[in-house]
Amino acid sequence: MEILGVDVGKEFIDCHLLAAKSAHKRVTNSVRGFEQLDAWLRNRKVRKVHACMEATGGWSEELAFFLHEHGHVVSIVNPMQITAFGQSELSRTKTDKADAALIARFCQAMKPRLWDPPTSAEKRLQQLVRRRRSLIEMRTQELNRLDAPGNDHIRDSITKLVEVFEGQIAVMDAEIKSTIGNDDDLRGKSDLIQTITGIGPVASSTLLAETPHIEKFESAKALAAFAGVCPQLHESGRSSKRPRRAKIGKRAIRPVFYMAAMCALRTNPIVRAFGNRLQQRGKTKMQIIVAAIHKLLALAYGVLKTGRPFDPNWA
């Protein structure tokens, strides 16, 4: 199986085929461009490739779906991994063509995990959840403007726009609920996750949207690392720093689980006891909240892995 490094841009896609005779191909980021890429591979007698690309949201996922449907395997990796790999090679060239070749070499050396495409219902849920998040961010911006001084003449305009955003958020909430309710797999997972005290519909739908195959993670720790709530250690010789949260992972999961953790620290007996132990050990408030997020993700992983609802008396 040949290796195909793919650098995805908004307008163009640069591909580097790592084979006995390496080659480069640039196509437009469109269905027509995808078809040209497929024809190029067939003309070179390439039947199956392991395509690797950086995670760039919808720009990379559309191509990933196309390649997967045409019999290829795909890996979608964190851009920071590619950057670090390039630094390890002391790479100084930064062009789309060079980036595609770098991604191909990364794929060959690191053999990243294969991408498992979401179902149509999971893809729809992901789009709805992300749209809801965007609407909330825009509403927050307008509310901040409403509270700012010197806005007397535009308050009415801001208020009307906030009402529009709130109406659209309500529409997204209804569509998210309908999408989950009409799919047996999503509904079953959502029901299991929400048996965990502290996790409500928003946190549950966000987790399912951003990690559609959550039960396939190797461990709860791997899920926490994916969400970006694992501590990052700094130790070298006699020098050491206080562990901090690693600034990598799915940014979208953390804000909603921050609120869920705040709730769970008050209402979930297991998380509350866990937080009390950390407090007695002198941990800061933020460290306790991050640890509570980690605990909630571990509980969510556990109920989905076992298929059994949360039991606060299990321990």
Tens digit of each residue's pLDDT (9 = 90 or more) over 266-297: 999 999 999 999 999 999 999 999 999 999 99
Dihedral, 133, 136, 138, 142 alpha carbons, nearest 10 = -170
Burial 265-291 (b: 16+ CB within 10 A, else e): beebebbbebbeebeeeeeeeebbbbb
Dihedral, 79, 80, 83, 84 alpha carbons, nearest 10 = -140
- Alpha-carbon distance of 208 to 205, in angstroms, equals 5
> Is the pLDDT confidence value at 241 over 80?
no
Nearest Cα neighbor of 211 from 111, 129, 293 is 129
> Is the pLDDT confidence value at 204 over 60?
yes
Q: Which DSSP category does 218 fall into? A: S
pTM of the predicted model as reported, rounded to 2 decimal places: 0.81
Residue 146 and residue 166 in contact, taking contact as beta carbons nearer than 8 Å: no
Positive or negative, the CA dihedral 24, 28, 30, 35 is: negative
238 is written with which tokens?
């006699």
Q: What is the pLDDT of residue 268?
A: 95
- Convert the pLDDT of each residue in 48-100 to its tens digit: 999 999 987 677 888 999 999 999 999 999 888 899 899 998 877 789 899 99
Q: Classify 2-110 by CATH class.
A: alpha beta
Q: How confident is the model at residue 218 (pLDDT cuts 50, 70, 90)?
A: confident
- Convert the pLDDT of each residue in 103-157 to its tens digit: 999 999 999 989 888 899 999 999 999 999 999 999 999 999 988 887 788 889 9
Q: What is the pLDDT of residue 314?
A: 65
